[in-house]
Structure 1
Amino acid sequence: MITTSIDIPESVDSLPKWKDALSKYGVKIVASVDELLANCDVVMIMSLDGRRHLAEASLVLKAGKRLYIGRPIAANFSDAVSIIRLSEQTKTPCWTSSQHRFSPGFIGMKNHPEVGNVLGCEMYGGCPTVPHHAELYWHALHSIETIYSIMGAGCVSVSCTSTPIAESITGTWADGRVATYRGIKKGAIKYSGTVFGEKGVSVTGVYGHGVPVKGIVPTNDKYMGYEGIAIEIAKFFKGGPVPVSANETLEILSFMEAAHESKSKNGVNIQISDIMKKAQK
């Protein structure tokens, strides 16, 4: 499912490309969600406008169709939680993820032989924002989700410092591990990081490529790009479990919401549990 929004030029500009690419594979283009649901078994919501996703996802989930939602899951915390809860209520499997999570050079750092058990990481990437979405939902999510692919769930508190140059977010895990995110707002943009482990310290790979070996980041290997997440989506649509649990997704959303709140309160530590309580109301 791909829709356009006039205040998101990228969504308008990319639609002809989507239509051309999909038509080559015999994909039927329809004009409404109802018509779509009558002609499919599963659904991907790939439109960039998260403001539309709750309404779109509601129709899909109530129809009992397995659902994948591309980044961003929604435009704000409340809508995102509503989608998760509706998936639970309808007992219809649904998940969301940044494609960065499944890039080999990132997800492969969790069990990297040169790093060992992960004790922490520092990730960085682009942090552009748009006025109609919560700040971290737009592009920062890529790096924040990468943190979770490396660290796993279990963050208990978050703090955020913001300047016109960068966002600096620190998360502390229940076992004492620490992860940081630098959201680049000015200067050169790259998506990468450093992982700290019991055996060693290593840079991560870069998006689309493999894990580094002895600190050397491969760039001449096979480019994976979207392939990693496409494989996971295909397995899910064939009846497999959701690759990212609802609980972990809820924690990632709470991490970002806690960072937003910390920023508004001059960088104080915000407890994830306090944010999670909002999701239970």
Structure 2
Amino acid sequence: MGKAALAGIGLGLATSTLAFGTASVKRNKKVGIIGLDTSHSVAFAKAFNASDAAPDLGGYKVVAAYPHGSKDIKTSVERIPGYIEDVKKLGVEIVDSIASLLDIVDVVLLETNDGRLHLEQALEVFKSGKTVFIDKPIAASLPDAIAIFDAAKKYNVPVFSSSSLRYMENAVAVRNGEIGEVYGADAFSPAKYEATHPDLFWYGIHGVETLYGLMGAGCKTVQRTYTEGADVVVGTWEGGKIGTFRGTRTGKSGYGGRAFGEKGILDMGGYGGYRPLLVEIAKFFDSGKSPISDEETIEIFAFMQAADESKKMNGQAVSLEAVLAKGKREALKIKI
């Protein structure tokens, strides 16, 4: 056998060993969940822990969960006992504190449904140095959202937050340039009320994140009006580009949108589930780099806050820059 053939075999063996070694390392990465008060916790654990989980989920396994969780949102609190049993069946250990969780995991999914608890819980994770994905809403106020990213920088910990709606197949296609430059977009989703959270933060964030997934950051002003059965928020971006969000309040509603670009118009189609987001989370856990900038996520919350301000002002336009500036001033008062 010639030297070239031997070299080829050696290269193949080296590649196989590298691939096997990488897979082994990933399989040893243990995921912890904070909060068993949302269906996301069970769905994510099922996906990561499936015996036939695809390689693009990184080989991560959920090994432990701290169940709490919302304290006073009835619909969330009532889920916890059932979800504890659901994840136990997946081999997940239930622990009695976040500190206990952090002792036995490598990375964290902060899934608590109540955004008011996220800053407090995230700080505990940040201080441990563990990489963390924070589910929507990243916080229940704009200042808290800003403080979370400030704290992540302070403790030098990677953090990523997103709705799964950002990763609808056609939304990704738009971001990848399928219709060229985007001139405008419409997005819609349910916008259920929850008294403990600012209006759009609880559920409207899904549609707002869809809109930002199409338009990107850079909104300048926001106006909000109410039409029969829905709140409509109109954002004006640089160059006069218009993006709208319709949050439906009554009846059954799905998720979706439409983007208008230089090469055509593309409908978002149906919602494709959690898997595309989970693939991004696995990549994030591997790299420690969020696929979305901190600034864009913060702007999403400023957009929703500005929408609330506009509602109070009977639909007058509100400057996003002013809302952000106020949020940053208030965030400075938060101890991190």
TM-score range, shorter chain: 0.7 to 0.9
Give the corresponding residue for 1:220.
none
Question: 1:187/1:176 Cα in 2 relative to 1: closer, same or farther (>3 Å)?
Answer: same
Aligned length: 264
> Are 1:156 and 2:220 an aligned pair?
yes
Give the corresponding residue for 1:216.
none
> Are 1:84 and 2:172 an aligned pair?
no
Give the corresponding residue for 2:188.
124
What letter matches 1:172 in structure 2? T
Question: 1:111/1:41 Cα in 2 relative to 1: closer, same or farther (>3 Å)?
Answer: closer
> Are 1:230 and 2:294 an aligned pair?
no
Instruction: Describe the SS at the equivalent of 2:325.
Output: helix
> Are 1:242 and 2:307 an aligned pair?
no
CA contact (8 A) 2:210 2:256 kept: no
Paired residues for 1:71-110 under 5 Å: 71-110=136-175
After superposition, the C-alpha distances for 1:226-248 in whole angstroms (9 at most, x for unaligned) are 10110111111123411111111
Deviates more, 1:74-83 or 1:260-269: 74-83
Instruction: Describe the SS at the equivalent of 1:71.
Output: coil
- C-alpha distance in structure 2 between counterparts of 1:64 and 1:188, whole Å: 42
Q: Which has the larger radius of gyration?
A: 2
Give the corresponding residue for 1:212.
none
How much has 1:150 moved relative to structure 2? Answer: 1.0
Give the corresponding residue for 1:278.
326
The answer to which structure has the higher helix fraction is: 2
Give the corresponding residue for 1:186.
250
Instruction: Pick the aligned partner of 2:98 from 20, 26, 33.
Output: 33
- C-alpha distance in structure 1 between counterparts of 2:94 and 2:267, whole Å: 43
- C-alpha distance in structure 2 between counterparts of 1:10 and 1:161, whole Å: 28
- C-alpha distance in structure 1 between counterparts of 2:227 and 2:243, whole Å: 19
- C-alpha distance in structure 2 between counterparts of 1:107 and 1:266, whole Å: 35
Q: CA RMSD in A?
A: 1.8
Unaligned runs of 5+ in 2: 1-33, 36-67, 330-336
Give the corresponding residue for 2:63.
none
How much has 1:13 moved relative to structure 2? Answer: 4.1
Give the corresponding residue for 2:75.
10
Structure showing greater relative contact order (alpha-carbon pairs closer than 8 Å, 6 or more residues apart): 1
CA contact (8 A) 1:106 1:206 kept: no
- C-alpha distance in structure 2 between counterparts of 1:93 and 1:241, whole Å: 7
- C-alpha distance in structure 1 between counterparts of 2:289 and 2:121, whole Å: 22
> Are 1:137 and 2:201 an aligned pair?
yes
What letter matches 1:29 in structure 2? I
User: What's the TM-score once normalised by structure 2's chain length?
Assistant: 0.74
How much has 1:17 moved relative to structure 2? Answer: 4.8
How much has 1:188 moved relative to structure 2? Answer: 3.1
CA contact (8 A) 1:125 1:190 kept: yes
What letter matches 1:156 in structure 2? K
How much has 1:51 moved relative to structure 2? Answer: 1.5
What letter matches 2:99 in structure 1? D
- C-alpha distance in structure 1 between counterparts of 2:90 and 2:194, whole Å: 33
Instruction: Pick the aligned partner of 2:125 from 56, 60, 71.
Output: 60
Question: 1:11/1:117 Cα in 2 relative to 1: closer, same or farther (>3 Å)?
Answer: same
Unaligned runs of 5+ in 1: 209-224
CA contact (8 A) 1:158 1:171 kept: yes
- C-alpha distance in structure 1 between counterparts of 2:118 and 2:313, whole Å: 29
CA contact (8 A) 1:105 1:206 kept: no
Deviates more, 1:5-14 or 1:50-59: 5-14
Instruction: Describe the SS at the equivalent of 1:175.
Output: helix
What letter matches 2:310 in structure 1? S
What letter matches 2:324 in structure 1? M
- C-alpha distance in structure 1 between counterparts of 2:177 and 2:146, whole Å: 33
- C-alpha distance in structure 1 between counterparts of 2:264 and 2:170, whole Å: 16
Question: 1:141/1:235 Cα in 2 relative to 1: closer, same or farther (>3 Å)?
Answer: same
What letter matches 2:286 in structure 1? K
> Are 1:175 and 2:239 an aligned pair?
yes
Give the corresponding residue for 2:303.
255
CA contact (8 A) 1:106 1:205 kept: no
User: What's the TM-score once normalised by structure 1's chain length?
Assistant: 0.88
How much has 1:118 moved relative to structure 2? Answer: 1.3
- C-alpha distance in structure 2 between counterparts of 1:268 and 1:30, whole Å: 49
